[in-house]
Amino acid sequence: MPLLNIDELKALVETPQSPCISLYMPMQKAGPDVRENPIRFKNLIREAEARLDAIEMPHTEAVELLKQAHELDTADFWENQDRGLVIFISPTVFRYYQLPIEFPELVVVSGQFHLKPLLQLINNDNRFYILALSQDNIRFFEGTPYNVKEVEVPNMPKSLDAALDYDETASSGQFRIATSRGGTANSMVQPGSFHGQGSPDRDEHQKDILQFFHQIDDVVCVKLKNQKAPLVLAGVEYLFPIYKDTNEYLHLVEEGINVNVDIVKPEELQDKALPIVEPLFHQAEKEAMERYQELAGAGTGKTSNDVKEIVSAAYFQRIDSLFVPVGQELWGQFDPDTMAVELHSEPEPDDEDMLDFAAVHTLLNGGMVYVVEPEEVPQSPAAAIFRY
């Protein structure tokens, strides 16, 4: 099964051969309702057959086109599902995706694949990282709002003892001296680096923790090079300010998770991290909405809520930011030669969802697409900020 990313979406958009069939369905993962999955699937296939009949495709050709979809219908296939299933079928394409979000049931048969429901996953994957800290157990996790997994980080020191090469002499107070990142012989520990005061033994131990955390930060920065995803610290709270003294990753989050990382489950870390990182994920969307309102209020001509104008602008690469509602379609057709947009109250043969068309072309042309709840669209049914 191929991965779902921007390159995969681009391939689906740029190599269509009509008819393009898009099937979306929610999945039951457990309990007696799982028996509904193959029943819903068969109903969607029958609806696709009816749509193909409506565009006067010969029945034998329709059966052949849907053959690979029918072949998915096995016990093994239904035993390995996530929350949503998406299938794309055309004379040259057959791809399916088991995804961590639910979709309303939907069948679209047109000249392009229907991709708007996927954009919330593709355009902003809402990825974040968790660094679980303790003196003898370092763990690193990659998370999204839908799942979390532990990730191996090359050269990650696993414990303070291993990182500092403790031996018998260490117990006599002979420790390695930390040096600065600049390579000088000066200590990396500057006056005021530690928070609070204690005995000499305690201060020496904090210096060792600081050196340990410098080593961790080195490999974390390599792992997250060129990333912008938030990094959340988890562990005993007194370790957080020590690690922050070493941190060079620009997207370390101020708030941490105060837990015993030796016993906490990954899913618990995910649950505790989400309230911390979710406001960050919506920040760009909030700023774009504020910019839309400002430009619209100033009468600059750089905004629009006219779907016909938005569709044409998306095709000709004019859109900087686009807001479209999740779970809503607006059927019609676009002629790039005349720039004419026809909108229909009900889908007609060969119609496309014009909101989907605008969203996909905006994304492929380097713009930002925000798929939001209908009431959050600045001016329904769509709103755009133009580049010019």
Say which range, 211-215, 216-220, 224-228, has the weakest mean pLDDT.
224-228
Residues 272 and 290 in one domain: no
Residue 120 in any domain: the answer is no
Using the predicted structure, report yes or no on whether residue 172 has a pLDDT greater than 60.
no
Residue 122 in any domain: the answer is no
Residue 335 in any domain: the answer is yes
Residue 239 in any domain: the answer is yes
Question: Which residue, among 281, 381, 371, has the nearest Cα to 321 in the 3D structure?
Answer: 371
For strands 84-89 and 128-133, give the pairing. unpaired
User: pTM for the whole thing?
Assistant: 0.70
**Rounded mean pLDDT, 358-378:** 90
**Rounded mean pLDDT, 167-193:** 40
Residues 172 and 262 in one domain: yes
Residues 74 and 87 in one domain: yes
Q: Which domain holds residue 72?
A: 6-114
**DSSP code, position 252:** B
Residue 60 in any domain: the answer is yes
Residues 32 and 58 in one domain: yes
Number of domains into which the chain is organized: 3
Q: What is the pLDDT of residue 175?
A: 40
Q: Is 366 left (phi over 0), alpha (psi -120 to 50) or beta?
A: left
Asked if residues 326 and 372 have their Cβ atoms less than 8 Å apart, the reply is yes
CA 98, chain centre distance (Å) = 15
Residues 165 and 300 in one domain: no
pLDDT higher for 133 or 283?
133
Burial environment of residue 31 by CB neighbours within 10 A (0 to 12, 13 to 18, 19 or more):
exposed
Residue 121 in any domain: the answer is no
Q: What is the pLDDT of residue 182?
A: 39
Q: What is the pLDDT of residue 171?
A: 46
Residues 135 and 269 in one domain: yes
Residues 242 and 299 in one domain: no
Q: What is the CATH number of the domain that holds 138?
A: 3.30.420
Residues 93 and 180 in one domain: no
Residue with tokens 């911390």: 276
Element (H, E) at 107: strand 106-110
pLDDT higher for 179 or 330?
330
Other residues' Cβ atoms within 10 Å of the Cβ of residue 222: 12
pLDDT higher for 8 or 300?
300
Domain boundary among 62, 86, 114: 114
Q: What is the pLDDT of residue 5?
A: 75
Q: What is the pLDDT of residue 207?
A: 87
Residues 268 and 361 in one domain: no
Tens digits of per-residue pLDDT, 58-79? 999 999 999 999 999 998 899 8
What confidence category does residue 178 fall into, taking pLDDT thresholds of 50, 70 and 90? Answer: very low
Q: What is the pLDDT of residue 200?
A: 59
Residues 182 and 264 in one domain: yes
In angstroms, the CA 228 to CA 7 distance is 20
**Rounded mean pLDDT, 13-29:** 88
Q: What is the CATH number of the domain that holds 343?
A: 3.30.1330.30
Domain boundary among 218, 244, 278: 278
Domain boundary among 278, 303, 325: 278
pLDDT higher for 20 or 166?
20
Residue 319 in any domain: the answer is yes
**Rounded mean pLDDT, 130-142:** 94
Q: What is the pLDDT of residue 49?
A: 96
Q: What is the pLDDT of residue 201?
A: 65
Residues 142 and 273 in one domain: yes
Residue 134 in any domain: the answer is yes
- Percent of the chain scored above 70 by pLDDT? 88
In angstroms, the CA 87 to CA 14 distance is 17
Asked if residues 117 and 88 have their Cβ atoms less than 8 Å apart, the reply is no
- The residues, any chain, with a CB within 8 Å of residue 230's CB and separated by 6 or more, are 128, 129, 251, 252, 253, 276, 277, 280
Residues 136 and 223 in one domain: yes
Tens digits of per-residue pLDDT, 253-268? 999 999 999 899 999 9
Tens digits of per-residue pLDDT, 291-317? 999 999 998 999 999 999 999 999 999
Per-chain mean pLDDT for the chain: 86
Using the predicted structure, report yes or no on whether residue 167 has a pLDDT greater than 50.
no
pLDDT higher for 16 or 378?
378
Q: What is the pLDDT of residue 169?
A: 41
What confidence category does residue 3 fall into, taking pLDDT thresholds of 50, 70 and 90? Answer: low
Amino acid symbol at 36: E
